[in-house]
């Protein structure tokens, strides 16, 4: 039976989970794959750090280079995170002819075009199932199982921390700060949750999915990204009254001219849609292909064991790749699409919440600005109040481009009767 030497870069939550589960399921994997995995070296930042998962001390090193110079190591697993150390390490691994497995979404989103070009030149594959949606096998599905499909749209809930916070704001009526504090106390949010709540963790995953589905690498600077940190429980409450829930939604879709829209932002989705029932820390991806139709993938999007499961699935792929060299090295470009639609040109319905003076003529001023921009109002909510002071005003807007809608919202914000920055959210009806 073949023995495949592995170099493991990183022994944090996921790295230790990979080691633990490889050891626990060694016999099962050997029977299914006809090969055994042997972790030969584990690169860490410091040798003195206590380890929650025990491993022989002789495996550990602080020198990433040892993973590249050992001729018995045929596969390197990059789980150190970030870009500064990971990028040169992955470059050098490919140049050294090592198959690379990575769960580093930021690395691939920002440098995927370069790395996959290098992989093609060196005929060395990169596998990255763990980079998107944790334990959900969405990369292999898009790349292989649905290879016959033109993807009409992909919508995803790709960040468990944000989804937990929004779930608690919806179900328990918490405000954002309290829901975030609860998520941190339960270990669902980091001490610094910035990338989760500002939308960029989900955006990196959406960039990878969009690039894979449409055959050209999407630049991060061309993607519209907004987080959940400005949402209030009033937004969640008003959405519910209107028949919607608020989710941090990754939206990827092609229009009739094959231009691709990619955005990640809080979005109102109908309560009747399947993604509305994705609660807590779970992730889901709902896609529509011209051959397969609609398909849903649901599961844990993070955590030690789900993510380790995806890394080990990629290790299984290396068995095939080592025995039967392939022409696909993890990403295949094509020219069937090739352009990204500017976010200003994307069309959506919208939810607009304002805080306004309770005086006559306010709605007329706001409607006038929208009317001048060619934007229609479909419904209005203004709760009654017996207290003096500004009141919330919620408008549901007919289809408009993001550019016209944002310009109109900025003009509305400048009115003297508007007392706070407007909240503007797209509405996705999945048509």
205 flagged as catalytic? yes
Q: Which of 20, 49, 105, 205 is catalytic?
A: 205
CA–CA dist 93, 10 (Å, integer): 15
Number of Cβ within a 10 Å radius of residue 367: 15
102 Cβ neighbours under 8 A, 6+ residues apart:
77, 78, 79, 86, 90, 108, 126, 127, 128, 130, 131
Return the closest-CA partner of residue 427 out of 352, 342, 345, 340: 352
Rounded to the nearest 10 degrees, how much is the dihedral formed by the CA atoms of 19, 24, 29, 35? 60
100 touches 127 (CB < 8 A): yes
Catalytic residues: 205
């Amino acid at each position: 039976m073949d023995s495949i030497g592995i170099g493991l870069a990183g022994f944090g939550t996921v790295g230790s989970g990979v080691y633990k589960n490889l050891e626990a399921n060694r016999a099962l994997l050997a029977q299914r794959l006809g090969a055994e995995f042997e972790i030969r070296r584990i690169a860490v930042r410091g040798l003195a750090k206590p380890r929650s998962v025990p491993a022989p001390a002789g495996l550990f090193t602080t020198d990433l280079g040892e993973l590249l110079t050992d001729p018995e190591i045929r596969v390197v697993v990059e789980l150190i995170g970030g870009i500064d150390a990971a990028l040169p390490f992955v470059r050098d691994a490919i140049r050294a002819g090592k198959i690379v497995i990575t769960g580093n979404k930021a690395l691939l989103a920002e440098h995927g075009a370069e790395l996959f070009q290098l992989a093609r030149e060196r005929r060395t594959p990169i596998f990255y199932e763990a980079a998107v949606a944790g334990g959900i096998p969405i990369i292999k599905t898009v790349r292989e199982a649905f290879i016959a499909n033109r993807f009409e749209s992909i919508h995803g809930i790709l960040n468990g921390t944000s989804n937990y916070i929004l779930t608690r704001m919806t179900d328990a009526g918490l405000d954002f700060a309290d829901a975030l504090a609860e998520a941190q106390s339960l270990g669902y949010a980091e001490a610094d949750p910035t990338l989760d709540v500002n939308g960029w963790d989900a955006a990196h995953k959406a960039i990878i999915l969009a690039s894979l589905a449409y055959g050209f690498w999407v630049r991060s600077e061309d993607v519209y990204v907004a987080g959940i940190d400005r949402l209030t429980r009033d937004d969640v409450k008003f959405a519910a009254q209107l028949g919607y829930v608020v989710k941090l939604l990754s939206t990827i879709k092609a229009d009739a001219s094959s231009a691709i829209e990619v955005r990640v932002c809080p979005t109102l989705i109908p309560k009747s849609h399947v993604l509305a029932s994705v609660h807590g820390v779970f992730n889901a991806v709902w896609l529509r292909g011209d051959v397969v139709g609609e398909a849903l993938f649901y599961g844990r999007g993070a955590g030690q064991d789900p993510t380790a499961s995806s890394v080990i699935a990629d290790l299984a792929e290396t068995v095939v790749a080592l025995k039967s060299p392939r022409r696909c090295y993890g990403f295949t470009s094509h020219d069937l699409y090739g352009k990204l639609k500017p976010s200003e040109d994307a069309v959506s319905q919208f939810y607009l919440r304002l805080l306004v003076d309770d005086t006559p003529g306010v709605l007329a001023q706001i409607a006038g600005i929208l009317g001048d921009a060619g934007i229609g109002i479909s419904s209005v909510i203004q709760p009654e109040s017996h207290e003096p002071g500004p009141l919330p005003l919620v408008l549901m807007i007919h289809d408009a481009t993001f550019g016209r809608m944002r310009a109109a919202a900025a003009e509305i914000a400048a009115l003297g009767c508007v007392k706070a920055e407007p909240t503007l959210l797209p509405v996705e009806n999945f048509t």
